[in-house]
A and B are shown apart, each in its own frame.
Chain A
C-alpha cells in the first residue's frame, strides 16, 4: 500500500501503525516504510506494507510517487476537510492513480481532521458523492482522535480482491497496500498503507 501524503496522510499512517498523534512533527521528506497487520473477523490477517511518501507538488512533478504506488494493491488519498483545495488535489491524485497504478488498485479517500468540524469547508456529502462516482472507499477520519482510522484500513483490507488473500506473497498473508494522502497545503500528497 502506498500513502502519498501530505501531512494528513502521514498523521493517519502514524495513527494506524503506532497509534500516536503528534501535533508538532516534521513533515515527511522522503518515503517511510512501515508495516501493520490487521486481523479481520473472517479468519483473515492482512498485513499492510505501507509506503508513506511525501506528496508535495514538487515531488509529484518529479514523478517520485509512481515509485511507490506502481506495485501497490491499495492507496489512501487523504484530504483535509478544513481546506477546500485539498479535495481537488486529492482528485488529481485519484486520477493519476486510476491512470497509472495497477488497474486493480483499491483506492480509499479519507477526509481527515474530522475533529475540526467547526472549520469544515468540505461537506461530507460532496466528498461522498465524488467517492461514489469514482468508485472509492470513503471515510472521514481524525488522526488526532483516531476516529475511523482502523475502520478505514479494515474496510480496505476487506475490499482487497479475494484471490490476493488466497495467494499471499511468500512472506505470509501480506498485502502490499498503498495509500495516497493529500493535504491542501502546498506540500501534501502522502500515501499510506
Chain B
C-alpha cells in the first residue's frame, strides 16, 4: 500500500470538516497477536474554532474498505513513548544499524493504549511532529467531535450512522449522538429520501456560473463575450465570482463598494432588462453576485450570503471565500467564489485554504428546510439555531481562482497547447492530483476542460506572460460542482469554457452553464408519504409486540371442597417468531395477582416461538381462605391478568362452586349457626353475616374491669335464667341428632371468677360415665335466640369420642385415616348422622349404648383383638417389653410428628373411626380462624403458664364462646385422663366419676391400678431423657402445682416410682402438648416456635388438665403464691418424673406445623 492509498483510506472515513494530517503504514498486533499492516492516521477536525485531533488505526478489509480498529483522541492526557524495538549492543554495529530503523511507539490516552511498530525513521519523525503539534492545541474539555468514531470501534453499527448522509454535513451538535429517537427519525428520513420522487416534482433550471480574476482592473470592457449565452436556452440565474476586484491597500481596511457597483452595473448592462440582481457578497477583493431572470425571481427564497477570509492570519482576507445560498423552488443551491493561496509550490496551503473555507462558510439552519424531514423535524432544526455547511444543499457550485498550477515546465505546457492536448496537461494539474489524493475538492466534480489555461497573460492581450517570471500557463480559474444524492441527471454541464476576448486582466474569465435538477415539493403528497412511512414504522412496532393465543379465558372449578386441591391447565401458545415472556400481574392495589385460595404455576415464564406453555391453576381452600368463603362473604370468583411483556394483557376469569364447611370459621360465627353449614343459605340469612364480628367489639382484653362490670350489668338485666349445671344428663344421653342438640335456650355464663371455677367443678362428670359431656352455656345477650354455647359441630365430635372412644388407647396420639376424616367432615357439614358401621366397624355398630366402663373392664380383649402391630404402637401393651417401648414412644408415632396418615393408620384396627374422629377434633380446633385461646392472648397465656390461678384468670378475658369451648375441651380431657387412664383396670374408670366431686377422691385412680404400670414407667422415663434438659421453668411449675394442690399428686410424691402416677403425668403432658398446639397459636408471622415456647404452651394447658387447686387458694391470690413458696421443698424425685414427662411431650412438639395434610 502506498502512502497515497493510506491517505485515501483515511479520507474515506472523514467528514468535510475533518482532514487527514498525516498517514503512514505501520505494523500493529492483530487479533491473533501477529503483527499486521495498519494505517495510522492523524485526523483533525476543526470546528467552531476548536481543533481536535485523533489517531486512527485503520485496518484494511477490502479494496477501499476499512474498519477503524482504534481511535485515540489526542487529548490533554495523551502520551507517547518511543523505544527501539531491538536491543542495542554498543559493540555490535549491526544492532545499532538495525535499531535505527525499528521503533516501537506506544500511544496512551484516557483508557486506551495502542502499540505500533515502524521501521521508517521518516514516518516516525513526521508522526511525532504532528502529534506534538496536535497535543499542544488539544482542548482541555472532552472530545466532542470524535465521539462517533470512538464509539464506532466498539459498535460497528454506529459507523453506519456516520455515513453516508450525515457524514456529508457538518453534524450540528458536533458529532452524531446515537439515540434511539435519532435512529428512528433517521430511518424515517431515509425512507422519505428513498420515496422522494413520490412527493416531489422534478424540474430543471439553468445556472450560469462565471469566475474571473480581474487583477484589480475596472470594468472597461463589455462583458457580453463572457455572459452571453447563445441559443434559446437562457440561464435562469447568473452567479459571477470575481477575484482581485480591488488590489489597493485600503481595500483591506475600508470597505469600498465602488468597485462592486461598477462591476454590477457592467453585468446588468450586459444581461439586459430580463435579469435583476438578487444579492451579492464582497470580501475585500472577492465578490460574488447573483442575478436572476425576472420571471424566476419568485422561485428564489431564503437568500443568504456569507464570507470567510483565510488569507494572512485568516483575517486580512487577501484570500478566502464568499458564498450565496438560495432556495430555488424546493432545492437548495449554494455558490462559492474563492481565491486560494498563490504560487506554484503552495499546494498544501491551497488545500488548507479549501478546508478552512469549507469549515467556516456556514449558514444558519433556520434557512434550511429539509423536505425529507417531518414538519416537526424541520421545526426542531430551525429552532436549534445551528449552522449548516455549504454541503447541506442539493447542489454546491464552487468557482474561483483556485491557483492550482500545471506541474510541467513552461515549454512542455506550451508544446501541448499547440496541439490542444489538454488531457496531457490535466494529468499534471495540481487540482486534479490533490483531488485524487483526497486532499482537496475530493467531493467535487468538474467537467473536462477543453480550453486553454486562463493564466497568465499580459494584460490587455491574449499573450502568455512575457515577463521575466514567464509563469507557466495554468488552469487557475475553475468551476466545480457537487450534488447531494447525485443521480445521472442531477447536474449537466452544458458548457465549460474560457473567454479569450476579454483582455483587461492577466486571467481570462471562465464560465459554465449547468442544467440543475431541482425539485418542487408537493406538500399534500409529502404529508401522505410521511404518514405512510410513520404508519409503516408503527406497523413494525405493533408487529414486534408479542402475541399469543390462550386456550381459555374462563376457568370453572366445580365443587371445590375444603383442603381438596383442584387443578386445571391453561395453555398459551406464542404466535410470534420471537420469544415472549409472560407474568401474572396484580390488579391495582393488589399485591397478589390472585385470591389466596388459588395459585398459578409457573406464574412467570418464557414461551419460545410457536411453542406452548401450560400453566396450572390450582384452587385450594385452606384455613386462611376458608372463613370468608364459608360465611358466604366472598364467592369463588377472580380475574387473573396474564401479561405479555411489552404487549397485551389477557383476562382469565376464574370461578368455582365452593362447598362450605364448618372448618376454618370463627367460633362465634359457628356457634350462631343453628343448622349444618350446608343447609344454611347466606342469602336468606344476612343477619348472621352482619353481626359476625360483634364479639370483637364486645371483647376488650385491655379493659378487663370495665368489661367485667358491664358483664355483671348484663347479667342483672338479662331475663334469661342461668343454670350452672343446666343440663339433664338423661335428656342428653340419647341425643343422636342435631334435633336433640342439648341446648336451644341461651344461658348466660356466670362471670365472676368464683363462678367460673364453680362451673368448672360442676362441669366435672357426674357418676354417669356414658353421659354426654356437659355443655357450659354462655350467650351473648344481644342475640339470645341465635346463640348456642358452642358450635354444634364441636359437640358432635366430642360427643362421639365420649361415647365410643374413651377407652381407646393413645387417643389423640395416633393419626386418623384420611378418607374417614373426610367422611366425618362431610357428615358435620351436611348434618348427616355418623354411620357407626363405618366408623366403629361391624361389631360395635349396634353398640351405642356401650359404655366406656365396659371397654375399660376389658383391656385385655382390646389388646388381644388388635393386630400385633397395634400392640407395638401401644405403650400400654402388656405384651411388649419395656425396651421395645422406648422407641415407640419417642418415635414419631403420634400425629403430632407428621406421620402420613396412611403409615399411621395401619394398626389402628377397628379403632380407626375413633382415631379419625380424634384427629378431626384437633383439625377442627386448628382450623379455627381465631384459636380457642385468641391470638392476642397468646403471649399472656405463656406468661401465666406456671401459675394456675393466673391461668384461670385469663379465661375471664377471653370472649364468651372461646371460654365455653376452652372449658368444654379441658373438661373433656380431664375426664379422658381420669377414665381413659384406667385402661389397665376398671377401678380407674370407676372412680373417674368421683373425681368430679371436688376434692381428693380423685386420688383414687392414681393410687390404684398400678398393675401393668410398672413396665410403662420404665418406658416413659427413658423416653423422656431427651427432655431432661427442659428448662427449670417446667419443674418449678410442677412443684407449685403439686404441692399446692396437695391432694392429687400426693400419691406420686409418696411413691415416686409408682408407674400409675407417672403414666398419669405422661398422659397429661402428652394431651396437653397435642391440644395446646391447636388451641394456642402464635400470631401469624411470629417466629418459629421455640422449644421453650412449646413447653410453656403445654404448661398452660396442663394447668387445666390437672385438678385445680383448692377453691380457697384460687379465690385468694395470696393462697396460690403461698402454695408456691411452700412447694419449694417438694419431692425431688417426683418433680424429676414430672419434668421427664414434660420433656417427652416437648420432644414431640418440635414440629407442630407438620400436621399431616395440614
- Chain A residues in contact with chain B, CB under 8 A? 17-18, 29-39, 41-45, 53-54, 58-59, 62-64, 66-67, 70, 171-173
Contact = CB atoms under 8 A, between A and B. Distances in A.
A43 B375 contact: yes
B449 interface: no
A173 B184 CA distance: 12
A172 B184 contact: yes
A30 B648 contact: yes
Interface string B314-345: 00000000000000000000000000000000
Contacts of B641: 30, 64, 67
B594 to A, nearest CB: 12
B535 A37 contact: yes
A151 to B, nearest CB: 14
Contact of A59 (B184, B527, B651): B651
B639 A39 contact: no
Interface string B541-565: 1100100000001000000000000
Given A17-B542, A45-B374, 5 more contacts: A29-B553, A33-B545, A36-B535, A43-B374, A43-B376
Contacts of A41: 375, 527
Interface string B518-547: 000000000100110011011101100100
Given A64-B641, A172-B181, A172-B184, A35 B538 contact: yes
Interface residues of B, number: 32
Contact of B374 (A39, A53, A64, A66): A39
Nearest to A67: B588
Given A35-B538, A59-B639, A173 B376 contact: yes
B587 interface: yes
A29 B650 contact: yes
A173 B639 CA distance: 35
A54 B649 CA distance: 10
B378 interface: yes
Contacts of A67: 587-588, 641
A38 B177 CA distance: 26
Contacts of A44: 375-376
Contacts of B527: 39, 41
B866 interface: no
B734 interface: no
Interface of B: 180-181, 184, 374-376, 378-379, 527, 530-531, 534-535, 537-539, 541-542, 545, 553, 587-588, 639, 641-642, 646-651, 653
B651 A54 contact: yes
B649 A35 contact: no
A33 B587 contact: no
A66 B588 contact: yes
B195 to A, nearest CB: 15
A62 B850 CA distance: 57
A49 to B, nearest CB: 10
A172 B184 CA distance: 10
A30 B639 CA distance: 10
Contacts of A29: 553, 650-651
Nearest to B380: A43
Contact of A35 (B378, B531, B542, B639): B542
A39 B542 contact: no
Contacts of B375: 39, 41-44
B550 to A, nearest CB: 8
A26 to B, nearest CB: 9
Contacts of A59: 639, 651
A33 B639 contact: no
The 6 A-B pairs at the shortest CB distance, nearest first, are namely A43-B375, A30-B650, A31-B649, A43-B379, A32-B648, A29-B553
B653 A58 contact: yes
8 contacts: A30-B648, A32-B648, A39-B376, A42-B375, A43-B374, A45-B376, A62-B639, A67-B587
B651 A39 contact: no
B649 A39 contact: no
A157 B554 CA distance: 37
A35 B535 CA distance: 9
A43 B534 contact: no
Nearest to A53: B649
B537 A62 contact: no
A64 B639 contact: yes
A1 B537 CA distance: 19
Contact of A64 (B538, B642, B646, B651): B651
Contacts of B181: 171-172
B648 A45 contact: no
Contact of B538 (A17, A43, A63): A17
Most B CB within 10 A of own CB, among A30, A54, A63, A171: A30
Candidate in A44, A59, A70, A172 with the most chain B CB atoms within 10 angstroms: A172
Contacts of A17: 538, 542
A66 B587 CA distance: 9
B650 A64 contact: no
Given A33-B648, A43-B379, A173-B376, A62 B587 contact: yes
A45 B380 CA distance: 12
Nearest to B530: A39
Contacts of B379: 43
A121 to B, nearest CB: 30
Given A17-B538, A39-B530, A63 B374 contact: no
A56 to B, nearest CB: 9
A63 B587 CA distance: 8
Contacts of A42: 375
Contacts of A62: 587, 639
Given A29-B553, A64-B651, A172-B184, A39 B587 contact: no
Nearest to A173: B376
B639 A38 contact: no
B650 A39 contact: no
A63 to B, nearest CB: 6
B636 to A, nearest CB: 14
Contact of A37 (B378, B534, B588, B650): B534
B598 to A, nearest CB: 15
Given A64-B587, A64-B639, A43 B378 contact: yes
A41 B650 CA distance: 37
A54 B639 CA distance: 12
Nearest to B382: A43
Contacts of B374: 39, 43, 45
A38 B587 CA distance: 31
A67 B651 CA distance: 13
A63 B588 CA distance: 8
Q: Which of B181, B530, B648 has the most CB of A within 10 A?
A: B648
A41 B527 CA distance: 8
Nearest to B378: A43
A30 B651 CA distance: 5
Contacts of B648: 30-33
A62 B650 CA distance: 14
Contact of B647 (A33, A39, A63, A171): A33
A45 B527 CA distance: 11
Nearest to B649: A31
A20 B88 CA distance: 81
Contacts of B535: 36-37
A64 B649 CA distance: 11
Contacts of A35: 538, 541-542
Contacts of A58: 639, 653
A35 B648 CA distance: 12
Given A39-B375, A64-B639, A30 B541 contact: no
B538 A45 contact: no
- Which of B375, B379, B527, B530 gathers the greatest number of chain A CB atoms within 10 Å? B375
A173 to B, nearest CB: 7
A12 to B, nearest CB: 16
Nearest to B554: A29
A44 B531 CA distance: 12
A36 B538 contact: yes
B376 A37 contact: no
B1019 to A, nearest CB: 61
B542 A34 contact: yes
